[in-house]
Amino acid sequence: MAKNTTVHSKAISARPKERNTSTRSKLDAYTISFENSLSIQLKLLEQIQSCVNILNSDPGNRAVLDWKERLEFLLSSASEADFNTLIEDRLGNFLLRTPIGFDLPTDANHQLLVGLVYAEASSAPGDDDEKRGIAAAILNMAHYATYTEPRKKCYNTSFGDGTVLSAIKKGSMAYNSPQWNKVMAGDALKAKADLENSLIPTEVRKLKACVESVAAVADGVPPIADTKSSRNLLQFNQADNSPPSPRQERVAKYGIHTFYAFIKGRECQ
């Protein structure tokens, strides 16, 4: 009995030592991981400051601005686990792409509207009314292009042939512009992988807002009423008050765009 008790006592006394060794190893590993993460963060901050210094003397340097935004995105969004991955071998790849964590529309008309809203709307946050207004106006243009009333003449052929693409071409100069081509390949959205490799974080955030704004109105039945003005937005421009037609009047100002609607009763005459 004494022999067995002695062996049992030794086993018990050994356990705390093993537990301490295991805990110490975990702490050492965590310390190393933390120090590596901190080192990377400091390097990122140094690179960001270098970009700032260049931009102070050359504020229009797009390449430096893009790189600065990628660095800032990485610094603000990466968790400790991400940093541990980056420590291994993926820092360069991460900086060269901006992940898109939302679904892109598959409907052809929705894609066209996203492309136009992206090309037309301001990049300032909080201008969702402007983005929704642009999408709704194009849908309403397509609707009124073939709209008729009994015993009246409707002069709406300037709105296109009734398709979304035709309304875009008639109603906006942003079609096929450099901003349009940032997210569109012809008349369709670029593949997500291509967008991730070409857009910087602020552009991805703008694209997300455009997708959400289009989704808010695109499935409605035209004419689609603007929720704030309660009017059917029809056309838009960046003038303070310059209706594209004497049959239209200014009804809203969202972002950098002024929106117009038919004067009531002037859809046809």
| pLDDT one-digit tens code per residue, 19-45 | 445 545 544 554 445 456 667 777 778
Cα dihedral 27, 30, 32, 36, rounded to 10, equals: -160
- Most confidently predicted of 45-49, 51-55, 102-106: 102-106
φ, ψ of residue 251 to 5 degrees: the values are -130, -15
Looking at residue 1, what is its pLDDT? 44
Selection from 189, 193, 188 nearest residue 207 by Cα: 189
Report the alpha-carbon distance of residue 238 to residue 201 in Å, rounded: 26
For residues 142-167, average pLDDT: 95
Query: How much is the pTM?
Result: 0.69
Looking at residue 18, what is its pLDDT? 44
